[in-house]
Copies of this chain bind each other. A is one copy, B any other.
């Protein structure tokens, strides 16, 4: 994750305690926190960090392409630090848990040119929905 901080410093970022903490909170696999969850976890590490700063920092990380925004439920957006490995999302319909998955094949190839309405199509996001083992009662 200091990879990330190095990269950001290289791009002229001022490295503040707040930004360092947000980056630290986002470290890990299958991390998809809402801004509020990031703020709560950041507060545990740096009590005086403000919500506005968390929003600002997340917005910048997204602009820089270091973090992805995902909206799986129409409520709060979630932030996914796994921006450099292509993947899709598997969402539990009951508890909202999200896992990163790596399907085979390329959904783009499944959309024929004559079904694209003249669009220049560049990406395909896939959201799988189901029930996780915990919620299935297993």
- A interface residues (Cβ-Cβ under 8 A, vs B): 69, 71, 73-74, 77, 90, 92-93, 99, 101-105, 107-108, 110-112, 115-133, 136, 138
Contacts and interface: CB of A to CB of B under 8 A. Distances in A.
A124 to B, nearest CB: 5
B90 A119 contact: yes
Contacts of A103: 107, 110-112, 115
A121 B116 contact: no
B133 A118 contact: yes
Contacts of A107: 103, 105, 107, 110, 126, 128
Given A102-B115, A119-B131, 12 more contacts: A69-B74, A90-B119, A99-B119, A107-B126, A117-B133, A120-B131, A122-B129, A122-B130, A123-B128, A124-B127, A124-B129, A126-B127
A136 B111 contact: no
Nearest to A107: B126
A120 B112 CA distance: 29
A128 B121 contact: yes
Nearest to A75: B71
A134 B18 CA distance: 42
Contacts of A133: 117-119
Nearest to A136: B120
A110 B104 contact: yes
